[in-house]
């Protein structure tokens, strides 16, 4: 036969037989109950544990301070609440719940002292018998209604106000907080003054619901509650834990050593219901045994072994490496040669092949190539097998031996000449430019360099003078001799006249340059055909034309003046010969100062007279109109205008 997980094989009957775990009986002080692949012990009074082999601890003595125990046989008992303003009112956490600290600092609404009852207890309401009699109708409300004294969402606990005590219907008392308030028609008995109460119903959480008849807290602790707590719970004796104190605290007393961490194993009431998590280097049930990592000689190649906290530590001999000194060491693996030296090694030694410029066992000595001051105009920085010169401004080259030519970039504009200097340059500008880089244009024509020219043209650094006829030179300063080219031929004589010339031709030749032969009459000396004769005639014609034009102009001016004077006197005589019909009352005063109604009138001589204008009111045979007299301006030189302007037609 063979046992498997609580069952025994019966090969003869081809079936399994359940094993009785209560045989032999494992319960020392209790009754064993066989289960499938398990058992349970029902301990006798005074014993506990999985096998009922542990006596009940003697911690079930006095209760902790401030705790209230669960009371037996309280179901159906009645607690009375008196509504009034006696000693039962409060308004702080300390006066209402008896607690201090952060919660005790809070201020509450004035209320009846809160009531805490265990599940199953009944409540009776009655008005305070020591005060004035008044009827009450308590309402169950929400917390918000409790704080605001509002019955808007509340339920009345009675049909009408009553002064007779009555027992509260259990349906109004649910687990947890239950808020009630009272408001009456009297202004003296109001919720705001303290007629409100919080009744907390606390359940019993000291034993499983499926085991209502079992001991509270497994008889290993107190079933109690404190103020402001919402239920009764188990406070286990020392060495026990769990909601119902059903588990033994295997870590009680800290059985683990050497700083190990203890973990309790649940659902175990016997010995060994814990496990220790040991720190490195320790082992055993309580981590009391130190591990010897060198016991099996893990270090190789003659290395020394040290057992330390996290394992073996091997001290290798020369030429070996690795955690266990299992590797042969190449001396060149550590790269001892500096400055790119080449390492050559055997099992135990190495040698460095140094590059030029360095020396030493590990090529650690670098020769100072700057010791000879190779940089002529700069700072020397030593390198491996070399150096580098950092030149001062204005110099370049490997040794800073060359002065930098700042003119290489052609900094001067407009054909300016660049002059290289130390770390700088200067520009020599042409006459037409100025500025640091010849960038500013100068107007060369502003100084009027051309003497006898019609135009000055600025061509950058020079000017071009467009000379007037008869002048030449860069500035037109040289007067041209028209006879210099000897234009007169055939023996003619050249005579300069300004920019022109006149050829005095020999007998028998004419023309501007004496190039034409003349047709001479008999006895003709040829003078009238000479250029001199023609030049004299041209001047004579010019003078004669000018004099004739001036004479005609003088005659025209004289005739114009005579005509103007004739017209003026004729107009004056006609006006003065007008008949006198006795109506001299209408007169125009023509005075010396030339005023009419304060308006000055210009004239050439003094006249003092009165002009009769009465005839202008009479019909005239030729003009159907009426005229009014005005002052006459005799200085008007427009002929007959003085009289005509003095008479203005007026519409009848």
Query: Does 516 map to a domain?
Result: no
pTM, two decimals, is: 0.39
Q: Residue 472: which pLDDT band, with cuts at 50, 70 and 90?
A: confident
pLDDT digits (tens, 9 = 90+) for 266-316: 655 554 578 899 998 888 888 988 888 898 899 998 899 998 888 899 999
Q: How many of the other CB atoms lie within 10 Å of CB of 337? A: 23
Count the residues in the chain.
652
Shared domain for 172 and 71, answered yes or no, is yes
Which tokens is 434 given? 């100025």
Any residues with CB less than 8 A from the CB of 192 and at least 6 apart, and which? 110, 149
Shared domain for 384 and 423, answered yes or no, is no
Higher pLDDT, 514 or 209: 514
Which tokens is 142 given? 């929400």
Average pLDDT over residues 626-640: 46
Shared domain for 411 and 423, answered yes or no, is yes
Which pLDDT value is given to residue 99? 73
Pairing of strands 282-283, 274-277: unpaired
Which pLDDT value is given to residue 174? 94
Q: What is the CA radius of gyration of the chain?
A: 73
Shared domain for 574 and 626, answered yes or no, is yes
Three-state secondary structure call for residue 561: helix
Higher pLDDT, 22 or 501: 22
pLDDT digits (tens, 9 = 90+) for 114-124: 999 999 999 99
Does the pLDDT at position 592 exceed 50?
A: no
Does the pLDDT at position 178 exceed 50?
A: yes
Average pLDDT over residues 84-95: 80
Which pLDDT value is given to residue 528? 52
Please say which residue of 433, 461, 479 terminates a domain.
479
Query: Does 551 map to a domain?
Result: no
Q: How many of the other CB atoms lie within 10 Å of CB of 35? A: 12
Query: Does 545 map to a domain?
Result: no
- Residue 617 belongs to domain spanning: 556-650
pLDDT digits (tens, 9 = 90+) for 398-440: 889 888 788 888 999 998 899 988 888 899 998 889 999 999 9
Shared domain for 92 and 149, answered yes or no, is yes
Q: Which of 239-253, 447-461, 576-590 has the lowest mean pLDDT?
A: 576-590
Please name every residue paired with 428 in a beta bridge, in sequence order, or none if there are none: 417
Q: Residue 372: which pLDDT band, with cuts at 50, 70 and 90?
A: confident
Please say which residue of 428, 454, 479 terminates a domain.
479
Please give the full DSSP string across 588-621, using - where no structure is assigned.
Answer: EEE-TT-EETTEE---SS---EEEE-GGGGS--S
pLDDT digits (tens, 9 = 90+) for 183-193: 988 888 899 98
Shared domain for 344 and 421, answered yes or no, is no
Average pLDDT over residues 513-522: 74
Does the pLDDT at position 390 exceed 70?
A: yes
Which pLDDT value is given to residue 63? 73
Q: Which of 247-261, 376-390, 537-551, 626-640 has the lowest mean pLDDT?
A: 626-640
Shared domain for 286 and 298, answered yes or no, is no
Rounded Cα distance between 316 and 190, Å, is: 92
Which pLDDT value is given to residue 50? 72
Q: What CATH number does the domain containing 436 carry?
A: 2.10.25.10
Does the pLDDT at position 322 exceed 70?
A: yes
- Tell which phi-psi region holds residue 431, choosing left (phi > 0), alpha (psi between -120 and 50) or beta: alpha
Which pLDDT value is given to residue 600? 42
Q: Residue 56: which pLDDT band, with cuts at 50, 70 and 90?
A: low
Share of the chain above pLDDT 70, in %: 76
Shared domain for 578 and 641, answered yes or no, is yes
Q: Count CA atoms closer than 13 A to 581's CA, side-chain side.
A: 10
Listed as own residue / partner, the contacts of 623-627 with beta carbons closer than 8 Å and 24 or more positions apart are 625/649, 625/650, 625/652, 626/650, 626/652
Listed as own residue / partner, the contacts of 303-312 with beta carbons closer than 8 Å and 24 or more positions apart are 307/281, 308/281, 309/279, 309/280, 309/281, 310/280, 310/281, 311/280
Torsion over CA of 87, 91, 96 and 102, rounded to 10 degrees?
-150
Shared domain for 87 and 26, answered yes or no, is no
Which pLDDT value is given to residue 535? 65
Domain count, the chain: 9
Highest mean pLDDT among 51-55, 173-177, 258-262, 394-398: 173-177
Average pLDDT over residues 594-613: 41
Q: What CATH number does the domain containing 181 carry?
A: 2.60.40.420
Shared domain for 143 and 101, answered yes or no, is yes
Query: Does 575 map to a domain?
Result: yes
DSSP E strands, 44-147: 47-48, 54-55, 67-69, 78-83, 89-92, 107-112, 115-118, 122-127, 139-141
Shared domain for 151 and 215, answered yes or no, is no
Rounded to the nearest integer, the mean pLDDT of the chain is 78
Measured in whole angstroms, the distance separating CA 159 from the mean position of its chain's CA atoms is 70
Average pLDDT over residues 378-386: 86
Average pLDDT over residues 505-519: 86
Tell me, what DSSP letter sits at residue 415?
A: T
Which tokens is 305 given? 């072994």
| Maximum CA extent, the chain | 195
Which pLDDT value is given to residue 267? 55
Shared domain for 245 and 125, answered yes or no, is no
Specify whether the CB–CB gap between 650 and 625 falls below 8 A.
yes
Which pLDDT value is given to residue 147? 92
pLDDT digits (tens, 9 = 90+) for 518-567: 875 444 444 555 555 666 677 888 888 899 999 999 998 998 888 888 77
Does the pLDDT at position 489 exceed 50?
A: yes
Burial class (CB within 10 angstroms; exposed 0-12, middle 13-18, buried 19+) of 642: buried
């Amino acid at each position: 036969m063979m046992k498997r997980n609580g069952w025994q094989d019966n090969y003869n009957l081809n079936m399994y037989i359940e094993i009785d775990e209560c045989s032999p009986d494992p319960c020392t002080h209790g009754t064993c109950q066989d289960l499938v692949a398990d058992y349970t012990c029902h301990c006798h009074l005074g014993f506990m544990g999985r096998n009922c082999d542990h006596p009940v601890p003697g911690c079930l003595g006095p209760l902790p301070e401030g705790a209230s125990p669960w009371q037996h046989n309280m179901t159906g008992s009645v607690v009375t609440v008196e509504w009034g303003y006696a000693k039962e009112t409060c308004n702080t956490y300390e006066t209402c719940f008896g607690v201090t600290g952060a919660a005790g600092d809070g201020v509450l609404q004035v209320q009846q002292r809160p009531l805490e009852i265990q599940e199953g207890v009944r409540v009776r309401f009655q008005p305070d018998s020591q005060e004035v009699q008044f009827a009450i109708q308590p309402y169950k409300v929400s917390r918000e209604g409790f704080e605001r004294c509002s019955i808007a969402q509340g339920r009345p606990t009675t049909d009408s106000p009553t002064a007779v005590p009555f027992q509260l219907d259990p349906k109004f008392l649910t687990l947890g907080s239950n808020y009630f308030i009272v408001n009456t028609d009297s202004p003296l008995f109001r919720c705001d003054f303290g007629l409100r109460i919080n009744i907390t119903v606390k359940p019993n959480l000291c034993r499983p619901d499926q085991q209502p008849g079992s001991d509270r807290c497994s008889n290993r602790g107190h079933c109690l509650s404190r103020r402001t707590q919402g239920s009764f719970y188990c406070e286990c004796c020392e060495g026990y834990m769990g909601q119902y104190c059903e588990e033994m605290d295997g870590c009680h007393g800290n059985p683990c050593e050497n700083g190990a961490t203890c973990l309790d194993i649940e659902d175990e009431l016997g010995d060994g219901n814990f496990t220790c998590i040991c720190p490195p280097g320790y082992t055993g049930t309580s981590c009391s045994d130190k591990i010897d990592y060198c016991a099996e000689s893990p270090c190789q190649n003659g290395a020394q072994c040290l057992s330390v906290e996290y394992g073996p530590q091997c001290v290798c001999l020369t030429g070996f490496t690795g955690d266990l000194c299992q590797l042969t060491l190449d001396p060149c693996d550590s790269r001892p040669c500096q400055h790119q030296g080449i390492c050559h090694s055997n099992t135990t030694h190495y040698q460095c092949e140094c590059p030029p410029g360095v020396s030493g066992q590990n090529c650690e000595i670098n020769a100072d190539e700057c010791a000879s001051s190779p940089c002529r105009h700069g700072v020397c920085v030593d390198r491996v097998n070399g150096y580098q010169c950092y030149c001062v401004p204005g110099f370049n080259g490997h040794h800073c031996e060359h002065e930098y030519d700042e003119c290489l970039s052609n900094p001067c504009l407009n054909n300016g000449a660049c002059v290289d200097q130390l770390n700088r340059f200067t520009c020599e500008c042409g006459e037409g430019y100025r500025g640091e880089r010849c960038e500013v244009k100068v107007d060369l024509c502003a100084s009027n360099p051309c003497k006898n020219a019609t135009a000055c043209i600025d061509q950058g650094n020079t000017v071009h003078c467009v000379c007037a006829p008869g002048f030449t030179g860069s500035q037109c300063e040289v007067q041209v001799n028209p006879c210099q080219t000897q234009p007169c031929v055939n023996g003619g004589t050249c005579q300069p006249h300004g920019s022109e010339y006149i050829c005095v031709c020999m007998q028998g030749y004419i023309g501007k340059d004496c190039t034409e032969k003349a047709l001479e009459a008999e006895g003709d000396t040829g003078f009238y055909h000479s250029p001199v004769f023609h030049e004299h005639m041209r001047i004579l014609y010019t003078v004669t034309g000018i004099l004739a034009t001036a004479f005609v102009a003088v005659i025209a001016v004289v005739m114009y003046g005579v005509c103007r004077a004739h017209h003026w006197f004729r107009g004056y005589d006609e006006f003065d010969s007008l008949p006198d019909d006795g109506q001299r009352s209408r007169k125009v005063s023509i005075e010396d100062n030339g005023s009419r109604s304060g308006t000055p009138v210009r004239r050439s001589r003094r006249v003092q007279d009165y002009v009769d204008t009465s005839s202008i009111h009479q019909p005239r045979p030729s003009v159907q109109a009426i005229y009014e007299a005005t002052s006459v301006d005799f200085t008007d030189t427009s002929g007959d205008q003085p009289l005509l302007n003095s008479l203005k037609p007026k519409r009848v």
